[in-house]
């Protein structure tokens, strides 16, 4: 569903129909992190920190569907970005769990 106020994702240039901000994604991840080891937790948190710094400068924003704060890229690109980062640093087992957590059935329309 696209209304006339939609924004275009700054990474994939698709309309952002279900924007979710980094904070809300992080909240989802936090639930999973509670069951993970300290080193995994630390690694993931530091990637979130970097992710926040890179998304901050983009400028064009859309309100997050969950908290109404600004979301800069579509959830798809955010999670892809995270997966790329985490794939390099997480043990295989943890990365598989993370990928399962964010396979987009969680986000409805994707
Ligand atoms: Zn995108
Ligand atoms: Zn949010």
pLDDT digits (tens, 9 = 90+) for 53-100: 776 555 566 788 899 887 777 888 888 888 999 999 999 999 999 888
pLDDT for 56-66, tens place per residue?
A: 555 566 788 89
65 exposed, middle or buried (CB, 10 Å; 0-12, 13-18, 19+)?
middle
Query: How remote is the CA of residue 59 from the centroid of ligand 2, in Å?
Result: 16
Query: How remote is the CA of residue 27 from the centroid of ligand 2, in Å?
Result: 9
- State the Cα–Cα distance between residues 71 and 61, nearest whole angstrom: 6
Annotated domain spans of the chain: 22-107
Query: How remote is the CA of residue 64 from the centroid of ligand 2, in Å?
Result: 5
Distances (CA, A) of 102 to 2, 50, 58, 109: 23, 19, 23, 13
pLDDT for 15-67, tens place per residue?
A: 888 888 888 989 989 989 998 999 999 999 999 998 887 765 555 667 888 99
């Amino acid at each position: 569903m696209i209304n006339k106020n939609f924004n275009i994702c700054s990474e994939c240039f698709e309309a952002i129909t279900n924007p979710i901000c980094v904070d809300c994604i992080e909240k989802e991840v936090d639930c999973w992190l509670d069951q993970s080891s300290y080193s995994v937790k630390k690694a993931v948190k530091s990637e979130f920190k970097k992710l926040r710094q890179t998304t901050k400068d983009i400028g064009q924003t859309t309100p997050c569907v969950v908290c109404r704060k600004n979301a800069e890229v579509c959830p798809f690109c955010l999670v892809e970005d995270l997966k790329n980062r985490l794939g390099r640093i997480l043990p295989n087992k943890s990365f598989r769990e993370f990928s399962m957590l964010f396979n987009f059935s969680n986000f409805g329309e994707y």
